A and B are shown apart, each in its own frame.
Chain A
């Protein structure tokens, strides 16, 4: 398949935080309210767009067996967050694009990934996906697709997963809004705080977040993708092997820096960096960096380094 003559149509991308405060208690802190307004601005833009699909990659949905894709047409449940259960329950009733879920899983398999759809009543849709979909698409105007973040996947696998999303979008001719649900710095306070006193956990986290926002604001998505390992080392708690959202987002939207970026809000969520950002593909160009991390088209599995060089 040649990408050149089979380009997907991606209307714009959204990067937004997973924590439930903007949904459940926007009034508890001025910053939560600003994040809520930013979500609402995105919702309006989605409504005004001609999108056929909202495609979500959520860092709060970990998978182990390959890459899982939600494929239950109408998941209905009441979700409660593990940490923030005291802020309230999150009932949901979503509309999933099952055709796209199947198409995405097949496209991932074609690129060497292990992938499967999940369609089970009561499947626990993660906090990040619930928050994003509730706020961005409250009336289910547009069907959604949610893909998991594999715990063990690193750069190659994540980039190939993004490219598979492009394949499926092009194949089905669907106009998409691409949504990544992830914090910037993800270190939270390890104690309960009064929401009014919320702030970014440390100056260092704030500094790095500001730098990342500068790149987003300038539309330099591929540069962020290339900087992912640094970002992981500097401001990400080592819950998973790498900071992956920018890899997936760039691979899905297009691995370049030709975007108009807009930071709609940046606020603290229990110490973590929460930002609502939009990226719209454009003709302009920014950045003149070249990186030495090779691009990758297919996933070939583990390299079995452990077994090499053994007696």
Chain B
């Protein structure tokens, strides 16, 4: 019998394109003088940890593939194109060439379907992979040497409420966990988003001018840090319980359901999260963190 698949790590991996822009990888057309080091250095540290972990695939839940009709999965083995951020095209014009684990995507879609979730495989070769997926995956694995699966964000927070989102994303998380177990694969989950998510609507002439960067307001900061404390304390069930309120109060990007999905798939960890860094990007609150189910390899990072 095949060995049971498992989730070997869950990563909270925010995707402001600013972070890739600041890193100046050859794939990106824009050029920067740097910026947002707290997050980038944290990401680099987490990327180093990932290099020490044996895994087959990154499964990303992204807020920037927004679907109203169910949950969609990337369903072709390769996508190659240029991703231009519609909001920050001055920062992010990234040439990508990535591979998808279609077999796992299909298994997760089936499991979700069996759980009563509306689903769809995306098999149009002209489809452009969203920049949330690309930014998070690039920063976690700049070598792009692992296949990915991207899961779209169903917009049920907006269609119904954050409570409905929480329930549905949790159901999707359970379904994906089952599919992963059956697949025999070792999977890293990626929850791609900021915490508080109010942006400034103007940009400094030099976007990486760090003298201009700060959180949008103190209330968002306090909320974000409250969550960080709960993560340190291993209170993930409680975090998900207050997710609707957090999402509403800080216009958080958790509205997409990614975080609830990941925590549900991980079985609501009661062990401490690894914290890699918190910083604002154009006013939004961003945390790089991970959940390592393995007691032996779990680290106290920051």
Question: A37 at interface (Cβ–Cβ under 8 A)?
Answer: no
Contact of A66 with B69 in the complex, beta carbons under 8 Å: no
Chain B residues positioned under 8 Å from A79 (CB to CB): 126
Whether B278 sits at the interface, judged by CB under 8 Å, is no
Is A78 an interface residue, CB under 8 A from the partner? yes
Which residue in A61, A85, A126 is a CB contact (below 8 Å) of B127?
A85
In the complex the two chains form, is A80's CB within 8 Å of B156's CB? no
Task: Decide if A196 is an interface residue (CB 8 Å cutoff).
Answer: no
CB atoms of B120 and A86 under 8 A apart:
yes
Point out the residue from A82, A121, A192, A306 that lies within 8 Å of B66, measured CB to CB: A82
Q: At the interface, yes or no: A83 with Cβ under 8 Å from chain B?
A: yes
Which residue of chain A has its CB nearest to the CB of B29?
A120
Min distance, Cβ A241 to any Cβ of chain B, angstroms:
10
Category for how many chain B residues contact A: 35 or more
Q: Contact partner of B118 among A124, A152, A190, CB < 8 A?
A: A190
Which residues in B have their C-beta under 8 angstroms from that of A238?
Answer: 158
B199 at the A interface (CB under 8 A): yes
B26 CB-CB contact with A under 8 Å: no
A191 on interface, CB distance cutoff 8 Å: yes
Question: What is the chain A residue whose CB lies nearest that of B118?
Answer: A191
- Chain B residues within 8 Å of A120, by CB: 84, 89-90, 93
Interface string of A106-141 (1 = CB under 8 A from B): 000000001000101111101000000000000000
Contacts of B69 in A (CB 8 A): 83, 188-192, 270
Q: Does B128 interact with chain A (Cβ within 8 Å)?
A: yes
For residue B124, CB closer than 8 A to chain A, the reply is yes
Residues of A contacting B159 with CB < 8 Å? Answer: 187, 190, 237
State the CA gap A121–B29 with chains docked (Å). 11
Which residues of chain A are within 8 angstroms of B88 by Cβ–Cβ distance?
64-65
Selected from A61, A65, A83, A124, the residue in CB contact (under 8 A) with B203 is A65
Whether B193 is near chain A, meaning CB under 8 Å from some CB there, is no
Contacts of A217 in B (CB 8 A): none
CB contacts under 8 Å to A, within B151-169, are 152, 154-156, 158-159
Q: Which 5 A-B pairs have CB atoms at the shortest separation, nearest pair first?
A: A89-B126, A85-B124, A80-B127, A122-B82, A78-B126
User: 17 A-B contacts, Cβ less than 8 Å apart?
Assistant: A63-B86, A64-B201, A82-B66, A85-B72, A86-B123, A86-B124, A114-B202, A120-B90, A121-B82, A124-B86, A189-B69, A190-B154, A191-B69, A191-B70, A237-B159, A238-B158, A306-B217
Task: Report A's interface with B, CB cutoff 8 A.
Answer: 61-66, 78-80, 82-83, 85-86, 88-89, 114, 118, 120-124, 126, 150, 152-153, 187-192, 237-239, 270, 306
